[in-house]
Amino acid sequence: MIPRQHMVRFYENDVFLTEAVASCIKLGLQVNDTLIVMVPASHRTALRKVLTPDELANKHLMFFGTTSLLTKVMGDDWPNQRKFMKVLGRRIQVAYQAVRGRVLGEMLGVLWAEGKYRAAKAFVREAWSDAAASLEAGTPLSVRQHTLLRLALANITWSCHEVCEFAYTAAGTIALRSGTMQRLFRDMHAGTQHITSAPPVIRNTGRELAGVAAGKTWLFLDLVDQA
């Protein structure tokens, strides 16, 4: 009996990834392994270009989209065993009963994008909740509160821009079509050009947080001497 193995491979570009995954698929099919491949749409398209029609038609090869798969198996922000078994688990069990199986997964990118967006959103809520509490109490906002509000806005703008870049790339040719993907991609790029998220603002928030802006106060998006 061949022992179970868990392998992790890092890659610097999509070409290397495509070649590595395609090589694993070809080798697996040659020895009649069952292969379950979980990749985003763009990488699935790339794999279809390097695999032969016979390999793609092989009943032992199954593709799953990472985003749609995660949507189906997650529950309360955590993998749900019951959902996983319903969507994918049974197929893996059947495959392993008959032959050896290989599961190739590329989930890290999707999880990274989700985590980056949620972290940025949490920062906005934290900064605004603190500022709102001061305003409701009739207390003027401190320089630090102004700093965190500006930083939270810039951070979520650039974070959402990175997430959109990932989604656009992962969508493959679907992203080229007119629709929601194109609109959001365009809107987020436009958002990064707004003055509130410009490098000078981020630099000033860094100065204040680092303690090198003593005696300064915020005037719109710039730090100026206190009157």
**pLDDT tens digits along 3-17:** 666 677 676 777 888
Higher-confidence position of 225 and 41: 225
pLDDT for the residue 179: 82
109-217: CATH number: 1.20.140.10
pLDDT for the residue 26: 93
Question: Could you tell me the two tokens for 183?
Answer: 């609109």
pLDDT, tens digit (0-9, with 9 covering 90-100), for 66-77: 877 878 887 777
Res. 82: pLDDT tops 70: yes
- CA-to-CA distance for 223 and 35, rounded, in angstroms? 58
Res. 114: pLDDT tops 90: no
Higher-confidence position of 124 and 83: 124
Over residues 10-28, the mean pLDDT reads 84
Token pair 């680092």: residue? 210
Walk across the sheet containing 61-65 and list its strands. 61-65, 34-39, 101-105
Q: At what angle do helices 143-170 and 180-191 cross, to 10 degrees?
A: 150
pLDDT for the residue 171: 75
pLDDT, tens digit (0-9, with 9 covering 90-100), for 162-190: 999 888 887 777 778 878 888 888 999 99
pLDDT band at residue 160, thresholds of 50, 70 and 90?
A: very high
Question: Could you tell me the two tokens for 152?
Answer: 């939270």
Res. 218: pLDDT tops 90: yes
- Determine how β-strand 34-39 pairs with β-strand 101-105: parallel
Where are the domains positioned within the chain?
A: 14-106, 109-217
Q: Please, which contacts does 2-8 make with residues 24 or more away whose CB atoms are closer than 8 Å?
A: 2/100
Sequence-ordered list of residues with C-beta below 8 angstroms from that of 123, at least 6 positions apart, any chain: 151, 152, 155, 156
Res. 1: pLDDT tops 50: no
pLDDT band at residue 95, thresholds of 50, 70 and 90?
A: low
